[in-house]
Amino acid sequence: MDHSTSIRLIEPTDAAPIAAHRARDVEAFRPWEPAQPADFFTPRGQEKRIDRLLAGYRAGTVWPGVVLADDQVIGQVTIGGILPQPHLRRGSLGYWIARTAQNQGHAGRAVGLALRVMREELRLHRAEASTQLENLPSQRVLRRNGFSPYGVAHSSIFLDGNWRDGLLWELILGD
């Protein structure tokens, strides 16, 4: 199945499709993400979240994007923790794809497009990411896009009632 994959800056109108995906996929994401308040799964809660993300975008600390397949929102790709200072110039990449659109190459293509934004638009030197040790599909996405693992962050995130280790990834984007 060949689907076009694209990314663009998130918009307030993306709240409803994002809320629908997140509400439907709550169990699928439970092992990988912290618990969220009930409001997170509503269009209104996502509108508030998108407002905060766009405020961060205006401040230069985040580039919040949506992943599109055939012009439909199927996930998000976010470049967070942006440090644009000349001696740092790095950002941290995060992403998710709705369960109904997984295993079709969208995550890999979205990460590749986000890396282009990091390089060309944000002029960053270093990309970072983190995965759970057990999240092999996400690790394959990062590896295919040139990332290398460089360490383990012990007890770094509280998920599903336990502190979990994270695998840290890096990619040098160039000057």
The answer to whether 97 and 106 have CB atoms below 8 angstroms apart is: yes
Percent of all residues in the chain with a pLDDT value above 90, rounded to a whole number: 74
- 131-170 pLDDT, tens digit per residue, is 989 899 999 999 999 999 999 999 988 887 889 899 999 9
Tell me if 70 is assigned to some domain. yes
SS3 61: coil
Report the pLDDT value the prediction gives residue 38, as an integer from 0 to 100. Answer: 85
Residue 19: inside a domain? yes
Average pLDDT over residues 22-32: 83
Q: pLDDT grade, residue 3 (50/70/90)?
A: low
Residue 109 falls inside a structural domain: yes
Q: Is residue 94 a contact partner of residue 78, using CB atoms and an 8 Å limit?
A: yes
Asked, for residue 92, whether it belongs to a domain, the answer is yes
Rounded to whole angstroms, the Cα distance separating 94 from 97 reads 11
Q: From the CB of residue 158, how many other CB atoms can be counted at a distance below 10 Å?
A: 11
Distances (CA, A) of 164 to 2, 114, 152, 157: 36, 26, 10, 5
Among residues 49, 106, 56, 105, which one has the least CA distance to residue 77? 106
- With bands split at pLDDT 50, 70 and 90, how would you rate the model's confidence at 48? very high
35: containing domain: 5-125
> Which residues pair with residue 168 across a beta bridge?
130, 151
- Global pTM value: 0.91
Identify whether the C-beta of residue 28 lies closer than 8 Å to the C-beta of residue 75: no
Residue 64 in domain: yes
User: Is 81 contained in some domain?
Assistant: yes
Q: Is residue 139 part of a domain?
A: no
| Segment (H or E) for 49 | helix 43-59
Number of domains in the chain: 1
CATH code of the domain in which 77 resides:
3.40.630.30
pLDDT band at 1 (very low <50, low <70, confident <90, very high): very low
Average pLDDT, the chain: 92
Q: What is the phi/psi pair of residue 128, to 5°?
A: -125, 155
90 has pLDDT over 80: yes
Please tell me the total number of residues recorded for the chain in this structure. Answer: 175
What's the pLDDT score for residue 35? 79
| Residue 82 scores a pLDDT above 60 | yes
> Which residues contact residue 55 at a Cβ distance below 8 angstroms, ignoring those fewer than 6 apart?
none
pLDDT surpassing 90 at residue 126? yes
> Is residue 157 situated within a structural domain?
no
